[in-house]
Structure 1
Amino acid sequence: MLDNGLREQPAGWERGRVRLMDREKKYTVREMLQFFLSKVWENNRKLLIFSLIQIPVLVLSPYINLVIQKMIIRGITQQYIFSRFLLTVVTGYALILLIQALSEWLEGRSEWYNRVLVNTLLKCVDEKTLNTDYKNVESAEGQQKRQKALNSIYDGGQQLIKVSVSCMVNLCGFILYGITIFSYQKVLFLITAATAAAGYFFNDRLNKYEQKQKDRMADEDRKIKYLEREAAATRAGREIRLYRMQNLLYGIYDKTICSRLALEKNICRGRSIAGSSVHVLSLMRNIFSYVFLIVMVHNGQIKVEDFLFLTGMVTGLSVWISNFMSDLSKLHRFFMFFCCFFEYLDMPETEDAAESHYILNTAPSVRFENVSFCYDGSAHEALKNINLTIHPGEKIALVGRNGSGKTTFVKLITGLYRPTQGRILVNGVDITKYGSKEYFKYPAAVFQDVLLLPVSIAQNVSSATEKKTDGNKVAECLKKVGLWERVEALPDGAGTSINTQVKMNATDLSAGEQQRLMIAKSIYKDSSLLVLDEPTAALDPISENNIYQQYNGLSAGKTSVFISHRLASTNFCDKIVLLDSGKIEEEGSHDSLMKKEGLYYTMYKEQSKYYRKGYACKI
């Protein structure tokens, strides 16, 4: 056991480490293939098995068809025994029919398992979003990278295995047909291969151009999804109608859509140019092949059945090579897109390489030592040289004007961000030594923006699955915040779901009830460090005061931080800290700050005058 209410856990209990990604890192095809194959093997081995079976089936089917056609021509010209000849033809085409049926069945099964793979990749993105540093979720860079990662899955993930199988099929077909043609005439093989390679060059240039356009499209997609989400939101729907914002939103939406369509137009233009170039090359190859084979027949080098067989082979080889090059080009494009997927998964984490880990088991002390913080990309510090001590079990109120740094203070004390300069000590230990994931277990916070999931009231309180939710504990927490009678009267009690927009038999809660539910959630967590970040901003002063007074009793014996823009609601706190422009301007009790007649005094008098008898608002 250690002093200061900390208990040390064995070294190596958690593999804490700093993961940093070189922003210029290049992901190799081998690395990405290893990742995807490992995901397929872990989650869906049947997809790999069915895909491998498809390869010989798809290669042999057209080859056998050409061989049978050659046998038919030879049989007609050389007068085979009719019964034996007919049996050979029927058997051959029956075999082809069987192979094609097997191919269709395998393709259907593979299509389903491809969807499973896409869901697996989407799950990887969701897991990253839910577990990554909060700054990666909040920052514009993180949001952009997430959108690009999702686009890469939708653009390439749904076709990755299918195109990979097609690429292997075309490669095997190229080898089989190439060996056959090479055995007849080397020049014919070389001409066919050279024209197909030239076609790949055009497609490769197109892929690189498309990648640049896709990067720009990710920004437009993010804007479009934001507009669609806000237009459908209930809270936005009120203002849109009352302020007649429809034309404004139409204009913004049309402008964004036009920007995206312009990028799509550029891609289509590039595809048209590349496609035309490939078709010209194919035409030149076919003309040369036919002339070359006709000359060979004329010179008696090959027979009629060989001519038909080789023309089929040349056409088939050109198709195999063109498709192989096209598939390679697609895979190249997919892997270029998937770089965005891996860039998001590899966004920097600030998980600390802590030598030891601690558990808070009492109300902690918190000390800010010369703490400053600046958001990425900002030229101004949100907090500047903060020095503050919060004693165990002490209740402090953090007040100040908008933009003074209150919310940033909350992000730091709850571990969502780390100081740019200085350090935060919890029970005398630097907060970085706890490890972010471990530290998140201890603070309980109630924010201004309420997060209610469309699950039962009990699960919203417990933040756990139904099996892991303690019903009795939920009921006790709801009673403490005065919400139990309301919940008990519902048809399913605490088992009633929230959000009628998602579920038919759900219920909706008022703003005050939502805040009480969030307070019950913080009580359920049974934390020793409590934070309220202006959760009552939307409530009237009386409701706000009732909630704070109620929470004052529930926070007994815990270290608590209360943030409110209404100064009169913080009288119950042991100490009041006034922030202004990111600095601590004043601190002390309510009475001591009123005696100073400083900024706190001015703000308090300004707010309280609206509630004094005889005050008349001047317009």
Structure 2
Amino acid sequence: MKKIKPESNSLHREYGILSNCGYALGVVRRYSPKVLPMMAAGVITGALMSFLWSYIGKYVIDLVQKQAETGDCAPLIPLLCIAAAIEITAAGLNTICNNKIWFGLVFARMSVITEKNAKALGMDYQSLEAPDMLDAYQKATNACAGNDVGIEGLMRGMYKIVQQALVMAVTFTAVVVLDWRLILVIAAMSFAQFLFFRHTVKRDKKEVWDVLAPTWRKINYMERVTQDFDYAKDIRLFDMKEALAGKQHGILDEKRERFFHSRNLWLGNSFFSHAMSIVSNAAIYGVLIFCVVGQNMSIGDFTLYLGLSGTFSATLTEFLNSLGGFRKTSMETDDFRSFLDTAEKYETGLPLPEGRLTFEFRHVSYRYKGAEDYALKDLNLTLEAGRRLAIVGMNGAGKTTLIKLLLRLYDPTEGEILLNGTDIRKFRRSDYYRLFSPVFQDVKLFAFPMSENVSMLPPESTDRNLAQKCLERSGLGEKLKSLPDGVDTQLLKVLYDDGVDLSGGEKQKLALARALYKNAPVVVLDEPTAALDPLAEYELYRSFDGMIQDKSAVYISHRLSSTRFCDKVAMFIGGELVEYGTHEELLAKGGEYAKMFEIQAQYYKEGCANAAE
């Protein structure tokens, strides 16, 4: 199996532990403010429980020794009752505090997951396709995937560290009184454990979890493929079960290799930690035995100092390990904050021009990341306000790339796209998006009511009557009548048992209804009618063209059903604009467009002529 190496991530930043602590406290204060006083109370009650029984045990044993001489054990009963009451009260308060802390921190984590998802939804399209951004997103997801990682893990770490510091402050005095040299032995062993633990944490993070970020992406992708209805038919009809299973096994082997490495790292840490603990405990017992034999220490004092020394030793080790774990959760918080703080392109910009809109491609070229050839080369093209432009060409000609550039899903590799003379990158991206009503071939439905699938807005902002009119105008009037709840019918069965699935043609008509509802000044149709036959496509295009009235429109297709009613036709081959003019001009020219039109004529030329009469 090939060796997996960590991938560098230019998006990663290091904020520092103190900065991350302040950030985590701010998150909790914002989403679960009642957690902070609960943590203060939990620190006190938890620390009290750590050493309370050591003192109680001493006094009980001393009293038992004293009363054994008289045989009267009655004085023990009040003492035991008081001790039990204190312990029960402290334990009860600590349980209540820990319960509220647990749920409060979980709620805060769920809230920052929402922040992360909102960030992903608002990012520019091109960034979401970049592998380094996908890895950054996966690391941010990992950083809020459990109670002991990321921000929640950092808060739990702070809680434990403060509590442990309080316990050590109390038990330290007892150990110094016993023998100050014992402090040196315990501290040396604990510090050695801490250094080894910190080294293990760092290696585990960089050699396992950072390396696994691309692997988690592969695992998530394979899970989506096996569960997505869009893949179900192909998987079954092409008998892809074994092929997919083989790929999944390969990915899981990568994961298993890293997990084995992690296990070995922590096994080594565990062995080392146990060895250091044995040395510390041996030193404690040695000093105490010497005190009992040589200094006549009472059994009660022996019990007290044994408990306090053991508590100090264990707590110091836990404290130092918590610091090491603190480093790990801080690094995970770095991952989360790095993703959230990724600079958004074009968050601010010029106000959009008012009135008629003209778009100009000026020497625009685009090359996909990692590709050698340009998908679009030196394009000069103008879309005038209120005009219809047909973009035609075979698959792979660069049509969809052109549209993604026009919509600002991509930025040009070379050249510029102008809106009324201004580079479109100077406008705020979210404002620019409002100029377009796009209709794509691959229509995605949401498990929402049909009205919200048209408006693409929350229910309180959706005009149901307008949604119904748009559906009727796009050709889904009869479908609406057949549905039990009309525009309120839930789509898809993912969330609702009575959800309705639409056919391919119905999905594309719904997408046209979305464009009508948005009512943007520019309509873009990127082969949305591929599920229709050529004649039906022509009729739908002509009908839709009448609906959009004086808006600008761009029709993209490798079929030529839209070109006859467009003002201009742009013919693309291999990413280059090879012909440009009206339908009639290009036919008269007898070039590539005319050849393509003649080839397709057998399917719809006669039908188009009849429909035009």
1:299, distance to aligned residue in structure 2 (A): 2.4
What is the DSSP-based 3-state SS (H/G/I as helix, E as strand, rest coil) of the residue aligned with 2:378? strand
**Alpha-carbon distance in structure 2 between the residues aligned to 1:193 and 1:310:** 17
Where 1:286 maps in the other structure, the secondary structure is helix
Alpha carbons of 1:596 and 1:396: their partners in 2 closer, same or farther (altered >3 Å)? same
Corresponding position: 1:470 with 2:466: no
Alignment of 1:296-445 (within 5 A): 296-300=291-295, 302-351=297-346, 353-354=348-349, 356-360=350-354, 362-445=355-438
Q: How far off its partner does 1:524 sit?
A: 0.8
Amino acid of the residue matched to residue 14 of structure 2?
A: K
The yes-or-no answer on 1:58 pairing with 2:58 is no
Q: Deviations over 1:595-615 (max 9, x none)?
A: 2222222333333356789xx
Using the TM superposition, give the Cα deviation of residue 332 of structure 1 relative to its aligned residue in structure 2, in angstroms. 1.3
Corresponding position of 2:5 = none
The residue number in structure 2 matching 1:105 is 96
Counterpart of 1:36 (choices 24, 44, 55) is 24
Q: Structure 2 CA distance, aligned partners of 1:376 and 1:541? A: 35
Query: CA contact under 8 A between 1:512 and 1:543: conserved in structure 2?
Result: no
Structure 1 pair 185–29 and aligned structure 2 pair: CA distance change class (3 A): same
Residues 399-448 of structure 1, C-alpha deviations (whole Å, 9 max, x = no match): 12222221121112112222233222222332123211111122110111
For residue 175 of structure 1, what is the amino acid of its counterpart?
A: A
Q: Does 1:173 align with 2:167?
A: yes
Which amino acid is the alignment partner of residue 590 of structure 1?
H
User: Which deviates more, 121-130 or 332-341?
Assistant: 332-341
Amino acid at match of 2:53: N
> Would the aligned equivalents of 2:143 and 2:333 in 1 still touch at CA under 8 Å?
yes
Answer with 341-350 or 384-393: which moved more. Answer: 341-350
Q: Is the 8 A contact 2:12 2:338 kept in 1?
A: no
Alignment check: 8 A CA contact 1:136 1:347 kept: no
Letter in 2 for 1:65: W
1:67 maps to which of 50, 55, 68: 55
Partner SS for 2:460: coil
Q: 115-124 vs 341-350, which deviates more? A: 341-350
In the other structure, the counterpart of 2:106 is 115
After superposition, the C-alpha distances for 1:518-564 in whole angstroms (9 at most, x for unaligned) are 11111111110111111122332233222211221122201111101
The corresponding residue for 1:269 is 264
Q: Does residue 231 of structure 1 match 2:202?
A: no
Checking the alignment, whether the CA contact within 8 Å between 2:525 and 2:555 is kept in structure 1 is: yes
Counterpart-to-counterpart distance in 2, 1:306 and 1:274: 34
From 501, 518, 521, give the equivalent of 1:508: 501
* 1:130 aligned partner: 121
8 Å Cα contact 2:445-2:491 kept in structure 1: yes
**Residue equivalent to 1:197:** 191
- 8 Å contact from structure 1 (residues 537, 565) kept in 2: no
CA distance in 2, matches of 1:95, 1:59: 13
Q: Is the 8 A contact 1:203 1:326 kept in 2?
A: yes
Query: 1:283 and 2:278 equivalent?
Result: yes
CA distance in 1, matches of 2:458, 2:481: 20
Change (3 A) 1:160 1:352: closer
| Secondary structure at the counterpart of residue 153 of structure 1 | coil
> 1:68 offset after TM fit, Å?
0.6
Q: CA deviation at 1:184?
A: 3.1
Query: In structure 2, how many angstroms separate the alpha carbons of the residues matched to 1:489 and 1:297?
Result: 92
Q: Do structure 1's residue 163 and structure 2's residue 151 form an aligned pair?
A: no
Q: How far off its partner does 1:49 sit?
A: 2.2
- Does 2:78 correspond to 1:87? yes
1:19-63 residue CA offsets vs partner (Å, 9 max, x unmatched): xx9746322112222222111111111222222211011001121
d(CA) in 1 for partners of 2:372, 2:37: 55
1:142 paired residue among 130, 133, 137:
133
Which residue type is aligned with residue 169 of structure 1? Q
Q: Given that residues 167 and 315 in structure 2 are in contact (C-alpha distance below 8 angstroms), is that contact kept between their aligned partners in structure 1?
A: yes
Corresponding position of 1:184: 178
How many residue pairs get matched? 591
Amino acid of the residue matched to residue 243 of structure 1?
F
Residue equivalent to 2:579: 586
Q: Distance in 2 between matches of 1:228 and 1:388?
A: 42
Task: Measure the CA separation in 1 of the matches of 2:438 and 2:128.
Answer: 18
Further displaced range: 136-145 or 219-228: 136-145
Partners of 1:599 and 1:148 in 2: how far apart? 49
474-483 or 268-277, which moves further after superposition? 474-483
Q: 1:445 to 1:434 in 2, by over 3 A?
A: same
Secondary structure class of the residue paired with 2:352: strand
How far, CA to CA, are the matches of 1:605 and 1:432 in structure 2? Answer: 40
Corresponding letter in the other structure for 1:228: E
CA distance in 1, matches of 2:243, 2:425: 47
Distance apart, 1:84 and its partner CA: 4.5
1:18 is aligned to none
Distance in 1 separating the partners of 2:333 and 2:537: 49
For residues 608 and 139 of structure 1, what CA distance do their matches in structure 2 show? 41
Quote how far apart the aligned CAs of 1:499 are: 0.5
Match for residue 45 of structure 1 among 33, 36, 41: 33
- TM-aligned CA deviation for residue 492 of structure 1: 0.9
How far is 1:107 from its partner?
Answer: 1.9
Match of 2:243, SS state, is: helix
- Cα shift at 1:90: 1.8
Residues 327, 442 of structure 1: CA spacing in aligned structure 2 closer, same or farther, 3 A cutoff? same
Normalization by structure 2: what TM-score?
Answer: 0.92
Deviations 1:256-290 (A, max 9, x none): 11221111111011100111000000001111111
Counterpart amino acid of 2:170? L
Letter in 1 for 2:457: A
Change (3 A) 1:612 1:513: closer
1:496 corresponds to 2:489: yes
**TM-score (norm: length of structure 1):** 0.91
**Distance in 1 (alpha carbons) for counterparts of 2:348 and 2:133:** 23
1: CA distance between counterparts of 2:192 and 2:225?
48
Letter in 2 for 1:44: S
**TM superposition shift of 1:376:** 3.4
Unpaired stretches in structure 2, ≥5 consecutive residues: 1-8, 607-613
**Alpha-carbon distance in structure 2 between the residues aligned to 1:539 and 1:211:** 52
1:444–1:529: 8 Å Cα contact kept in structure 2?
yes
SS at match of 1:504: coil
1:301 Cα deviation (Å)? 7.0
**AA in 2 matched with 1:45:** P
After superposition, the CA RMSD in angstroms is 2.1
For 1:525, the equivalent position in structure 2 comes to: 518
The residue type paired with residue 182 of structure 2 is L
Q: Does 1:250 align with 2:254?
A: no
1:377–1:174: structure 2 CA closer, same or farther, 3 Å change rule? Answer: farther
Select 1:153's aligned residue among 131, 135, 144.
Answer: 144
Q: Is the 8 A contact 2:353 2:420 kept in 1?
A: no
SS at match of 2:34: helix
Counterpart position of 1:8 = none
Equivalent residue, structure 1, for 2:4: none
1:219 aligned to which of 214, 218, 230: 214
Query: What SS is found at the alignment partner of 1:69?
Result: helix
Note the C-alpha offset of 1:514: 1.0
**Are 2:439 and 1:451 aligned?**
no
Structure 1 residue identity aligned to 2:196: F
Aligned AA (2:536): S
- Greater mean alpha carbon deviation, residues 208-217 or residues 179-188: 179-188
